[in-house]
Chain A
Amino acid sequence: MEATSEPLLDAKSEVTNQLVDFQWKLGMAVSSDTCRSLKYPYVAVMLKVADHSGQVKTKCFEMTIPQFQEKKITNGLTFIPQLY
């Protein structure tokens, strides 16, 4: 079995959540008060997650394109189905 050289995940959060919904949008930051010429695209994600009690929370965050394309994310997830 191929393995990555990543260290084992030692989760910092006590609780694991189930992913209920995953929405995304691709945005472009054009300009701001501190920078008239921002011009960078980004991926905005909204996750709905449910904890063990069934309570649903919403988490929003953003990534730059290079971050999104970082092999770590897609490599990690494409590796997983091979284990099933």
Chain B
Amino acid sequence: MAAGEFEGGKPLNGLLNALAQETFHGHPGITEELLRSQLYPEVLPEEFRPFLAKMRGILKSIASADMDFNQLEAYLTAQTKKQGGITSDQAAVISKFWKSHKTKIRESLMNQSRWNSGLRGLSWRVDGKSQSRHSAQIHMPVAIIELELGKYGQESEFLCLEFDEVKVNQILKTLSEVEESITTLISQPN
């Protein structure tokens, strides 16, 4: 059956959105039948299935290679030329979709591949300890930092840390070492 039986435009854009939600953003739950009846009601289920698989495969290939726009155009052109490929209409819709969703999809892929906790948030506060029973400390600021950590798909865990002046300065020194490393890495040709 010809690829042209499946119109591009809004239905295809909707289909790509649903595929992206399921494949990258971790929101499955839209059934094949629902997609067909909503987006391509005149198409028979047994014809819809291979079409859906083809679109899913194309989207996965583009995302997996993190294609830039030149690569994308070359890839889609090749898809229009092959047997059982896509129409140039469909290619245009896919191209537009990738251009506007690329960043978000990439971010999801990065999050999915992180198996450690990620840093979800950081807040801080400074308390002033004015005096204690055992010594006449007049003003001893204490920094309190709360880290929000969490693994992909799991609830956050909160970690609260207390720092005195010495610790804060140690950490600042360490952070600037990290920053230096980053600068070195980024300035290296790869």
Contacts and interface: CB of A to CB of B under 8 A. Distances in A.
Contact of A63 (B119, B125, B162, B168): B119
Interface string B110-141: 10111011110011111010000000000001
B109 interface: yes
A69 B181 CA distance: 12
A47 to B, nearest CB: 8
B181 A26 contact: yes
A68 B186 CA distance: 14
A70 to B, nearest CB: 8
A17 B161 CA distance: 5
Sort chain A's interface into a size bin.
35 or more
B175 A40 contact: no
Interface string B138-156: 0001011111110000000
Contacts of A29: 110, 113-114
Interface string A37-74: 11111111001010000000001111111011100111
Contacts of A59: 117, 149, 159
B66 A39 contact: yes
A34 B61 CA distance: 10
A6 interface: yes
Contacts of B172: 74, 77-78, 81
Contact of A17 (B63, B148, B159): B159
Given A26-B185, A34-B113, A61-B149, A19 B161 contact: yes
A83 B160 contact: no
A5 interface: no
Contacts of A73: 122, 175
